[in-house]
Structures are given as structure tokens and as C-alpha cells.
Chain A
């Protein structure tokens, strides 16, 4: 994808844990991008989190700002059984 030179300074990684009662694949902005209950890495920004597969959880999606996390204090995103 196109991107301008000036605007490509990298930021530090952000860290997220998506919590759910069982192991499921996590969708970030519609793409498979990690597993529930496992810490994973992202870039800073606003993202929509969902679980892949059966829609047996709530809320069905969460759109959150991810910024200012670190590997010891990740952002926690929690889904519950519907």
C-alpha cells in the first residue's frame, strides 16, 4: 500500500490480551491477528476486535484505542460468553 516517506516513523510496539473463557482466534479489523488469552503485539491506533467463528460471545465487537501499553502492562480486551 502507498505510504508517504514523512509519515512512516515507527512507533514502539503496543501489547494486547483479548480475554475469553476459551482459546479462540482473534480478528483485528477483520483479519486473523492473534489468539485469546495470549499476549500479542500491535501498532498504535484504533482497532476493532472480534472473535473468529461462532458469534456466541458478547459484545460482538469492540473498537478501542491502543496506545501507551507495554509488554508488562498490555491492554486487556474482555469478551464474555453470550
Chain B
């Protein structure tokens, strides 16, 4: 009993880019590349899970015509990037697809997960197990998710077709995003295919202090891994492209297993609470393993839809009504949440500004061509026309709710793994309604008829 140990991640014998859970290894089938749809699900416990589930329902019910074929918008989703509570929805959908609409509510959304976890924690059987230094509260939670939500499924059980699911956690040492993809596990020479889905979701939602981090073993150096080509070049970018240099440094930090024999992972919300950073990186850099920018340059993508599902709340705090110093709990909550909220806001701004700049660049080139043709009609700019892509950045959150009372209701919902059944239903419904009310979503639908 005292020897309880978390399930250790498997060693990878031979690095092979053609194997494992990566975007490039998933089949497209009826899902075109030309309409590229990315969903980003935020953290926020069951509130976030239900809100993102409501978006899946809405996309299921949205009929489109693309390249002459009638289909559901849901069937065009290419990537879902999720954090914490949102990872329950993304992982469940990645495993079961449309079955999610039949049983996700009973399996997760309307279950008292928090109560069940507390019961496990106070079970005398688990006291002995938790006494082991290699078995912690998060491992117990992962076991519960494995047994009661994800039915002992591993990454090899995920469907071999799009969408590609990015379950995001945070590497405690780097304070950086850590994804459960084979591209990330290659760095550790570890085989993701045997890794339980429940453990990835547990890591993604391991809120500091409440839950302990998930630990993975680093086997780097023993699988003939060759690092991506960009890393060597990016090591020269310290002064000209600092973010690229920093990414390369992070990649290389995993390659010395003697320095980092174990990687400790906690809530993905610490590094990015809306799951949008990796999609943004993919859209504007050729370095990402699933670079959308490379696909654009190869003229494979015509429209990019990004739907950010942000379940951020803003509780009515009355701190400023009192002269006395705020309580320790209030202080800790502010310390934990304010930086995440600020960073999420900045991430969304970054996406919007990047899209605006992209369009300005297209316009600048067109204007230049027009001016040149006025004096020399035969002239063309070297490189020809800039390949154009239509962007649809859609952000849905409770801020957009018009009615103040209704808005206040949603913005005061707790972050927990238990919510009343009717609250879950309200979250599902408001998600669909907010998406429908989005002017960009309406514009998109108009273009997909």
C-alpha cells in the first residue's frame, strides 16, 4: 500500500515522425484543409467544460456548404486546443466524437465530480496510498477520471482523423506550455500512445495547491531523435528574434535527461488560460509542428476560423467597500487569477492585431500594384500576387451578454467540478446563443452557403 506509484510514461524506442499522435498523421477524410477551423477552450472547471460543449452543439447544428458539399461546421474542425476544464470536453470529443452528445452530460457535466474526488480523498484506503511520495492527490484524481469518465483510454485510442486535440498543461520549471502530443513527447523520448487520456486531462486541470502536479519521466537521448530543423537556426536568434530563441532554448532543455530527469506538469491555465497561444503560433510561424502558415504558403488554406471559448468570470468582489485588509483567501485568488486574466486578454488582442496587420499587408501590396500599373500597365511586382486568406476570429465570453442580470449570473459562477444541472444547461444554451449573435460568425455563415 505504501508503495503506490503513479503510472510511468512509456519509453520511446525509435523516433519516427510518421507515427504517433501528431497533426500530420491524422486523416482528413471529409474535413477539408481549405476551410481551417480552430477551437480554443479555456479553463474554468465544469463551467468551462459546459460552455465549450455548448459550442460543439452549436457547430453540430450549423449546416454549411463548402466546395460544393453540404456538411456540418463541426465536421470542418481541424484543431481543438484546450486548457483545464475545457480539456474534459476536447478529450471526450476526440475519443467519442458524436457520442459526446449522448452521454457527456451524464458522464461528466452533471456529475458531482468534486464530491466524488473528496470521497476518494477521505477513503482510508487512499490514505495509505497517498502516504507514498510517488503517489499524490492528482494521481488519485487521474485514476478517478480514468475509471469514471475516460474508460481507461490512452492516446492510441484517439480517433485517427481530425480534429487534432491539443491538451495543454504547464511545465512547472519553465512556466511554459506543455502539450500532450507526440511532437512534445519526442523531446523526452517517450511514447505518448500508451499515456492515459485521463492523466493528460488531470495535468491540464491540476490547479496549483488544490491539486499536485503530474510527473512524467524524461528518457531523452535514447531514441535516435533529431530535433526539428528550425531549432538550430533559432539558437542564432537571441538578438533578432528573441521569442524564437527562447522557444529553441526550451526545446533543448528537455534533451538532457540528467538535468531534467522528471518533468512536473500543472494546470495549463498558468501558461495560457484560453488555449490560444499555440494556435496563434501555428498561424503566424513556420516553426510549429502543425504550422498553418506553411499550409497557407503552400496555398492549401482559403479560410481560417478561430473560435475562442472563454469562460472567464468576474465575481462581484466588494473588497473596496471595506477599510480592513482583504482576507488571505481573497489575496491568493487575486494573485492566482489576475495574471492569468491579463495574459488571456493580451493573447486575444494579439490574435486580433495579427489578423489586422495581415490584412493591412495584403492591402499595401495591392495598392502598390495598382499605383505601378497606372504608369506601366504591363508591370507586375516580383513574386506575383500575395496569396490571400480570409480570417474569422471569433471570441465568445460572458462579457457579450446584453442583459446585466443574466451577465452577472454567468460572471459569478464558481470554478469547480460540480454545478447544478440547470446551470449546466444554461451554459450550453448561452454558448450557442453567443456564437449565433457574433457578427463574425454570421459573416462566416453567409460565406458558407
Contacts and interface: CB of A to CB of B under 8 A. Distances in A.
Interface of A: 1-5, 7-13, 15, 17, 19, 25, 28-35, 37-48, 63, 65, 67, 70-72, 74, 76
B286 interface: yes
A1 B289 contact: yes
Nearest to B270: A5
Contact of B350 (A10, A28, A74): A10
Interface of B: 171, 174-179, 183-184, 228-230, 233-234, 236-237, 240-244, 246-247, 250-251, 254, 271-272, 277-278, 280-281, 284-289, 291, 293-294, 296-299, 343, 350, 353-354, 357-358, 361-362, 364-365, 368, 381-384, 386-387
Contacts of B254: 2
14 contacts: A1-B250, A3-B250, A9-B243, A10-B284, A10-B353, A13-B361, A15-B383, A29-B233, A38-B383, A39-B365, A43-B287, A45-B234, A45-B237, A70-B361
Contact of B272 (A5, A40, A41, A48): A5
Contacts of A45: 230, 233-234, 237, 240-241, 244
A46 B287 CA distance: 11
Contacts of A10: 243, 280, 284, 350, 353-354
B387 A38 contact: yes
A2 B250 contact: yes
Contact of B240 (A46, A48, A70): A46
Given A33-B293, A39-B381, 17 more contacts: A2-B177, A9-B350, A10-B354, A25-B298, A32-B294, A38-B387, A39-B382, A39-B386, A41-B293, A41-B296, A43-B241, A43-B284, A44-B241, A45-B244, A46-B237, A46-B240, A74-B383
Given A9-B243, A29-B229, A45-B240, A76 B297 contact: no
Given A4-B174, A31-B294, A72-B365, A65 B287 contact: no
A7 B234 contact: no
Contacts of A48: 229, 233
A3 B362 contact: no
Nearest to B363: A71
A9 B251 CA distance: 18
Given A3-B177, A44-B244, A67-B241, A17 B289 contact: no
Given A33-B297, A67-B241, A1 B286 contact: no
A33 B291 CA distance: 9
A17 to B, nearest CB: 4
A37 B176 contact: no
A77 to B, nearest CB: 11
Contact of B386 (A8, A32, A71): A71
B83 to A, nearest CB: 13
Contacts of B174: 2, 4
A45 B230 CA distance: 10
A34 B298 contact: yes
Given A1-B289, A13-B284, A34 B365 contact: no
A47 to B, nearest CB: 6
B364 A70 contact: yes
A7 B243 contact: yes
Nearest to B247: A3
Contacts of B358: 13
Nearest to B244: A45
A67 B297 CA distance: 18
A43 B285 contact: yes
Contacts of B229: 29-31, 48
B298 A65 contact: no
A74 B364 CA distance: 12
A7 B347 CA distance: 12
